[in-house]
Amino acid sequence: MEKIWDLSSDFVINLALTLLIILLGLLAVGIIVRIFRKAMKKANMDPSLVSFFVRCIRVASYIIITISALSKLGISTTGIIAGFSAAAAALALALKDSLSDIASGIVILFTKPFVTGDFIDIGEHMGFVQKIDMLHTNILTYDDTNVIIPNSKITSSQVNNHTAHPSVRVQIILPLSYETDFDKAKEIILNTIMSTDKVILNDEKHKPAVRLEHYLDSSLETMVRCWTEFENYWTVYYSLTENIKKNLEKEGIFIPFNQLDVHIIGKE
Tens digit of each residue's pLDDT (9 = 90 or more) over 233-259: 889 999 999 999 999 999 998 888 776
User: What's the pTM value of the predicted model, to 2 decimals?
Assistant: 0.57
- Which pLDDT belongs to residue 8? 63
What's the pLDDT tens digit per position in 37-71? 888 777 777 676 777 778 878 888 888 888 787 77
Q: Are residues 81 and 8 in the same domain?
A: yes
Q: Are residues 90 and 124 in the same domain?
A: no
Residue 5 has pLDDT above 70, yes or no: no
Q: Are residues 145 and 179 in the same domain?
A: no
Residue 121 resides in a domain: yes
Q: Are residues 189 and 239 in the same domain?
A: yes
Residue 24 resides in a domain: yes
CATH number where 30 lies: 1.10.287.1260
Distance CA 11, CA 17 (A): 10
CATH number where 129 lies: 2.30.30.60
Distance CA 252, CA 185 (A): 10
Residue 265 resides in a domain: no
**Nearest 10 degrees: CA dihedral of 223, 226, 228, 232?**
-40
- Which pLDDT belongs to residue 240? 94
Q: Are residues 148 and 83 in the same domain?
A: no
Distance CA 67, CA 62 (A): 9
What's the pLDDT tens digit per position in 67-112? 787 777 777 666 666 666 766 666 555 555 667 777 888 888 788 8
What's the pLDDT tens digit per position in 202-225? 888 888 999 999 998 888 899 999
Residue 108 resides in a domain: no
Residue 263 resides in a domain: no
What's the pLDDT tens digit per position in 141-194? 888 889 999 988 888 888 888 887 778 889 999 999 888 899 999 999 999 999
- Which pLDDT belongs to residue 26? 86
Residue 260 resides in a domain: no
- Which pLDDT belongs to residue 4? 55
Residue 153 resides in a domain: yes
Q: Are residues 181 and 149 in the same domain?
A: no
Q: Are residues 10 and 27 in the same domain?
A: yes
Q: Are residues 145 and 62 in the same domain?
A: no
Q: Are residues 177 and 245 in the same domain?
A: yes
* DSSP helix/strand/coil, 74: coil
- Which pLDDT belongs to residue 188? 94
Q: DSSP string of 120-157?
A: EEETTEEEEEEEE-SSEEEEE-TT--EEEEEHHHHHTS
Strand 167-176 and strand 146-150: the pairing is unpaired
Q: Are residues 51 and 82 in the same domain?
A: yes
Q: Are residues 85 and 8 in the same domain?
A: yes
Q: Are residues 49 and 63 in the same domain?
A: yes
Domain holding 155, by residue range, is: 113-161
Residue 259 resides in a domain: no
Q: What's the domain count of the chain?
A: 3
**Side-chain half-sphere CA neighbours of 195 within 13 A:** 9
Strand partners, 178: none
